[in-house]
Chain A
């Protein structure tokens, strides 16, 4: 049973804007996707220390717990708190179909591969980069929607949702 409704776009927008301001003032702009390869480096390090030490990308994104990795843990806690306050639960949700599982796995693969190539995702480029007025982030944002909108149309026609 839902106790509280979702925030509207402007409530959420002001909330996210204030979190972004807090991040900029106390340390640096919001970001999330760098932590995925960092987590991979942290997971691989105990088993393949030489591989991690010699990989050019893991030299750029070394296996250490940093500010953004803590932000990731915080985001999970924040999501939990919000769902509790709202009284929503996904416990009785039907198990995902095999197709849905693959859709999420491949989607996750593409999102992170693309975000790492572009050096940012929806938070790093669209929120932080646009706030910085970074020209590169505007190119990224334009491409995400230029490709994402027809892709969503195509997937809808194919009955994937």
Chain B
């Protein structure tokens, strides 16, 4: 199938799930970051575990390569921190904003406008920032199996089981909080 059409189909599924599960509602993210109801965190962690369980046998058989992200320590630490503040301020991220827009939440347009301005400013400062924040302490595409020098299937499955254990602990915590105050469980 045509690559662009595949992108569209993938996007429909992506936006559908985000809206159908309610993580495109700001309140869901606020509850998660306030550790009041961690639905958004549990959902993301489950998605990662499902992906690992399905994909890594094919990776082990050599039929699939997943690629990896660059390990540029400074830009990841600073970018992640800036992202975290924006995330806490707005309760949305670049993906959930689009699902929310599709659902008819018009105030998301302010976030998208801010995002476009932020991207433009980044494009302006990219060249001077590159030698300071991106190039130093950059180690290329490093994965956990590379670092540990162990098979990806083993590392992946152990990693997925560990995050699922964390998810179950968070869920128990949520249920306890819910028994005391059910208002945060509406989404």
Contact = CB atoms under 8 A, between A and B. Distances in A.
Contacts of B104: 80, 83, 89-91
B158 to A, nearest CB: 10
B93 A111 contact: yes
A148 B16 contact: no
A41 B81 CA distance: 26
B142 A134 contact: yes
B35 A149 contact: yes
B61 interface: no
A53 interface: no
B114 A117 contact: no
Interface string A79-96: 111110110111101001
Closest 9 CB pairs of A and B: A74-B11, A13-B46, A17-B50, A78-B15, A107-B90, A108-B114, A118-B79, A12-B21, A143-B80
Given A17-B49, A81-B16, A112 B116 contact: yes
B3 to A, nearest CB: 5
Contacts of A67: 3-4, 6-7
A104 to B, nearest CB: 4
A1 interface: no
Q: How large is the interface on A (under 10, 10 to 19, 20 to 34, 35 or more residues)?
A: 35 or more
Interface of B: 1, 3-24, 30, 33-35, 39, 41-52, 54-55, 64, 66-73, 75-108, 110-124, 126-127, 129-130, 133-134, 141-145, 147, 152, 155-156, 159, 167, 171, 187
A160 B5 CA distance: 41
Consensus secondary structure, chain B interface = helix
Contacts of A123: 14, 93-95
Interface centre among B94, B99, B159 (most CB of A within 10 A): B94
B45 to A, nearest CB: 7
Contacts of A24: 51, 55, 64, 66
A73 interface: yes
Interface in A93-114: 93, 96, 100-114
Given A22-B10, A108-B86, A58 B123 contact: yes
A111 B96 CA distance: 12
Nearest to A141: B80
Contacts of A44: 120
